[in-house]
Structure 1
């Protein structure tokens, strides 16, 4: 593997972003919406193996106190090789004074716990499609 980290949205193939999200079973939408989401984020991280996009993530933040992490995804064949950890570490490094929140895909909580995250006791969510999120086990 020849790993390259990119912290901007230059020359990203947004179809690949959408396809990776779809491949790993995460929520995906029109490529233009993904592009806008990443471009409007405080921090973005794209991981390449040579020229192949293999993972990414982003955060929205005030830059000093609070940061929310979204869209952490790694191609299945690269999972378990430290790519997700590299994405999270790069996000945290960019906002070291912040508290971080995220919501994990069901079954992925252990990965985030291994990086120091803990379950929230008072976390709440209001989603556009509450029934969908309930069916996907994100909410009670």
Structure 2
């Protein structure tokens, strides 16, 4: 598996990324939405095999204090090969000097991120666009 890496959003096929996000599965995000969030993120990683987008991720950052990793996604046919870990490591390398690096994981997938140094926060809180759905999916609890 020869992977070509890019940090540029200029040559991204946003529909292809939307299809990847849906297949992973990380939800249904429109190409326009993904273009907005990836181009507004300070750091991005895109992995291609034979020109096909097989993995991606992004990091929001203020440049010093706080960074947030999001949308770490790998094509199902490429999952289990360490590609997601490469996306995470590449993004972490770019935000290492930040005082704190955050992410939130799909419920049940938290152990994946422990091996990269992430630990559960006891004080994190969130407001979601669709609070009932966030409760249903296990992202929020009353306690």
Shorter-normalised TM range: over 0.9
Structure-2 residue corresponding to 1:125: 126
Q: Write the deviation string for residues 51-82 of structure 1: whole angstroms up to 9, x where unpaired.
A: 11101000111111210111000011111111
Structure-2 residue corresponding to 1:76: 76
**Deviation (angstroms), 1:29:** 2.3
CA distance in 1, matches of 2:25, 2:126: 20
Q: What SS does structure 1 have at the residue aligned with 2:112?
A: helix
Q: What SS does structure 1 have at the residue aligned with 2:127?
A: coil
Structure 2's unaligned 5+ residue stretches are none
The answer to whether the aligner puts 1:139 opposite 2:140 as a matched pair is yes
> Does the CA contact (< 8 Å) of 2:22 and 2:29 recur in 1?
no
- Once the two structures are superposed, the pairs formed by residues 83-94 of structure 1 within 5 Å of their partners are 83-94=83-94
Q: What SS does structure 2 have at the residue aligned with 1:137?
A: coil
CA distance in 2, matches of 1:126, 1:104: 15
**Number of residue pairs matched by the alignment:** 140
- TM-score using structure 2 length: 0.93
CA distance in 2, matches of 1:106, 1:38: 23
> Does the CA contact (< 8 Å) of 2:95 and 2:101 recur in 1?
no
- TM-score using structure 1 length: 0.95
**Deviation (angstroms), 1:20:** 1.1
Structure 1's unaligned 5+ residue stretches are none
Structure-1 residue corresponding to 2:64: 64
Structure-2 residue corresponding to 1:105: 106
Q: What SS does structure 1 have at the residue aligned with 2:106?
A: coil
